[in-house]
């Protein structure tokens, strides 16, 4: 029978115990190290990583109560928090064994044990340690895979002077734990910037958790964000951590924060103020260690004036503010972005090297890109798929009516006309949305909703 490739350490002051344990375990495991002197623990831990450590509770002669074993257990876990320790006690003192388990021991055995019992317990702990290691490996490879998957679009392309101050801010703020608020129209790259802040921070190896607040219903808000315990409500069939907990030590990205209703804003504020949460159905307090990044395309300051967004919440999330300019205000970025997406999609769709001719580029430069970088990205992807030649022509780009620059709508489509009316009214009101809404005969929230719908 081949032996299991594992290292077992047995630490006990009883020579007889060491002898028996060695005899039994050696038949099944490749390396068994036995030691009588607890003072050698540090030396032994520095020498190898063990799959299982069998540790005596009481070393000094005549001393019972297990305090010494607990001290050694703590030392082991200090050096290797993932160590799998089996406590060994001759006195059957359940209380101290329970204390050892609370401290992090995996199991305990009462001496004198039967050979089979020792072997079965060590084997079970070895299996546990092996599967935990596999899970850890899977987790880290999944992280790498996810990073790789995101890499396709993780490069921030920009040459525009309008973006320079933003990159300076990212560099500075990434080193801190300050809350960041990113403002900008749809598709300007708010999420990309949030990820960049995370990637440049000391939290980069931890989770980046995104929550789309616009997509969470109010009934699910607390359970999604704070988690729940089994039985907290009908569908809560098991304990589940919320997004706040998943983001522990990492970054929590709250997208579309401007869409949060006032009652939910209050709940979010409480969690941020006290830096702690409780899962729904539990009183246990969970402290928060997260970096918060929020984003929205809504005019939060205007909304505060009209009591649609809480001022105290705004002040809590906007320690540092980043305002992303729309693509039409950084036209220098259009060509490099277009070329970047062209390379990405030509590779994805296995087309040969694709290019844009000058006329095509001029068409792209002349368009106002109301959907910003996302619209440009989709336009290029569509063109790559549809094009018959590697040299993309203007006809390969079917851009939406560019109504910003025209006063008369050519289209009689009601949505095109409405979008244009909104753009004109906002321009006429100098960006004052209350005035624009009045002019249009809408309520303010209707105006916000429609602006979001049209990507304005």
Ligand X SMILES: Nc1ncnc2c1ncn2[C@@H]1O[C@H](COP(=O)(O)OP(=O)(O)OP(=O)(O)O)[C@@H](O)[C@H]1O
Nearest to 103 by CA among 134, 62, 57: 57
13 φ, ψ to 5°? Answer: -85, -5
Nearest to 212 by CA among 92, 296, 333, 273: 296
Specify which residues 209 forms β-bridges with.
252
- Angle of helix 164-174 versus helix 190-200 axis, rounded to 10: 40
Residue 211 CB, nearest approach to ligand X (Å): 12
H or E segment and range at residue 253: strand 251-255
Nearer to ligand X by Cβ, of 221 and 345: the residue is 345
Q: Report the alpha-carbon distance of residue 88 to residue 128 in Å, rounded.
A: 18
Contact residues for ligand X (CB under 6 A)? 153, 156-158, 184, 186-192, 255, 295, 297, 337, 373-374, 377
Residue 149: is it exposed, middle or buried by C-beta count within 10 angstroms (0-12/13-18/19+)?
Answer: exposed
Specify which residues 181 forms β-bridges with.
294, 321
Determine the residue with CB nearest ligand X.
189
Residue 295 CB, nearest approach to ligand X (Å): 6
Nearer to ligand X by Cβ, of 11 and 364: the residue is 364
Q: β-strand 240-241 against 227-228: which pairing, if any?
A: antiparallel
Q: Report the alpha-carbon distance of residue 345 to residue 149 in Å, rounded.
A: 14
Specify which residues 11 forms β-bridges with.
35, 55
Residue 142 CB, nearest approach to ligand X (Å): 21
Nearer to ligand X by Cβ, of 272 and 294: the residue is 294
Residue 199 CB, nearest approach to ligand X (Å): 13
Asked whether 139 and 291 are in contact (CB, 8 A), the reply is no
Residue 331 CB, nearest approach to ligand X (Å): 13
Nearer to ligand X by Cβ, of 77 and 156: the residue is 156
Residue 375 CB, nearest approach to ligand X (Å): 9
Nearer to ligand X by Cβ, of 314 and 337: the residue is 337
Q: β-strand 286-287 against 291-296: which pairing, if any?
A: unpaired
Nearer to ligand X by Cβ, of 83 and 354: the residue is 354
Residue 361 CB, nearest approach to ligand X (Å): 17
Q: Report the alpha-carbon distance of residue 400 to residue 41 in Å, rounded.
A: 72
Q: Under 8 Å CB-to-CB from 371, ≥6 apart: which residues?
A: 186, 187, 378, 455
236: its two tokens:
């809560």
- Looking at residue 169, the DSSP 8-state letter turns out to be H
Q: Report the alpha-carbon distance of residue 149 to residue 129 in Å, rounded.
A: 30
Asked whether 334 and 365 are in contact (CB, 8 A), the reply is yes
Residue 397 CB, nearest approach to ligand X (Å): 17
Nearer to ligand X by Cβ, of 71 and 453: the residue is 453
Q: Report the alpha-carbon distance of residue 27 to residue 6 in Å, rounded.
A: 12
Nearer to ligand X by Cβ, of 85 and 447: the residue is 447
Nearer to ligand X by Cβ, of 18 and 422: the residue is 422
Nearer to ligand X by Cβ, of 111 and 328: the residue is 328
Residue 41 CB, nearest approach to ligand X (Å): 51
252 φ, ψ to 5°? Answer: -105, 120
Nearer to ligand X by Cβ, of 156 and 232: the residue is 156
Residue 198 CB, nearest approach to ligand X (Å): 13
Residue 210 CB, nearest approach to ligand X (Å): 10
Asked whether 19 and 95 are in contact (CB, 8 A), the reply is no
Asked whether 9 and 53 are in contact (CB, 8 A), the reply is yes
């Amino acid at each position: 029978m081949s032996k299991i490739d594992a290292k077992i350490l047995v630490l006990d002051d009883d020579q007889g115990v060491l002898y028996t344990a060695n005899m039994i375990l050696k038949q099944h495991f490749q390396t068994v190290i036995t030691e009588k002197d607890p003072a050698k623990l540090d030396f032994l831990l520095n020498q190898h990583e063990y799959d299982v450590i069998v540790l005596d509770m009481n070393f000094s002669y005549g001393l019972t109560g297990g305090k010494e074993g607990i001290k050694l257990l703590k030392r082991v876990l200090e050096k290797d928090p993932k160590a799998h320790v089996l406590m060994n006690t001759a006195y059957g003192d359940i209380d101290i064994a329970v204390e050892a388990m609370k401290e992090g021991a995996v199991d305990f055995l009462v001496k004198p044990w039967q050979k089979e019992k020792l072997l079965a317990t060590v084997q079970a702990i070895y299996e546990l340690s092996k599967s935990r290691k596999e899970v850890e490996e899977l987790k880290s490879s999944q992280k790498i895979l996810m990073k790789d998957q995101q890499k396709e679009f993780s490069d921030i392309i920009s040459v525009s002077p309008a973006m320079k101050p933003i990159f300076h801010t990212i560099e500075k703020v990434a080193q801190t734990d300050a809350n960041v608020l990113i403002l900008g129209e749809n598709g300007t790259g708010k999420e990309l910037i949030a990820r960049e802040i995370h990637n440049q921070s000391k939290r980069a190896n931890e989770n980046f958790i995104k929550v789309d607040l616009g997509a969470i219903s109010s009934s699910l808000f607390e359970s999604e964000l704070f988690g729940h315990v089994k039985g907290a409500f009908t569908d809560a069939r098991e304990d589940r951590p919320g997004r706040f907990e998943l983001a522990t030590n990492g970054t929590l990205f709250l997208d579309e924060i401007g869409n949060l209703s006032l009652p939910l804003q209050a709940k979010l504020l409480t969690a941020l103020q006290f830096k702690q949460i409780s899962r729904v159905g539990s009183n246990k307090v969970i402290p928060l260690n997260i970096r918060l990044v929020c984003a929205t395309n809504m005019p939060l300051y205007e909304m505060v004036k009209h009591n649609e967004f809480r001022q105290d919440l705004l002040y809590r999330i906007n320690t540092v503010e980043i305002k992303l300019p729309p693509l039409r205000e950084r036209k220098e970025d259009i060509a490099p972005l277009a070329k970047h997406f062209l390379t990405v999609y030509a590779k994805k769709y296995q087309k040969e090297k694709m290019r844009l001719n000058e006329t095509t580029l001029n068409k792209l430069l002349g368009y106002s890109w109301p959907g910003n970088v996302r619209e440009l990205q989709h336009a290029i992807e569509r063109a790559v798929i549809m094009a018959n030649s590697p040299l993309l022509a203007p006809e390969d780009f079917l851009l939406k009516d560019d109504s910003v620059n025209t006063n008369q709508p050519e289209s009689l489509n009601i949505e095109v006309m409405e979008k244009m009316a909104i753009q004109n009214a906002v321009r006429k009101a100098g960006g004052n949305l209350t005035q624009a809404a009045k002019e249009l005969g809408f309520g303010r929230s209707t105006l916000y909703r429609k602006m979001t719908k049209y990507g304005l």
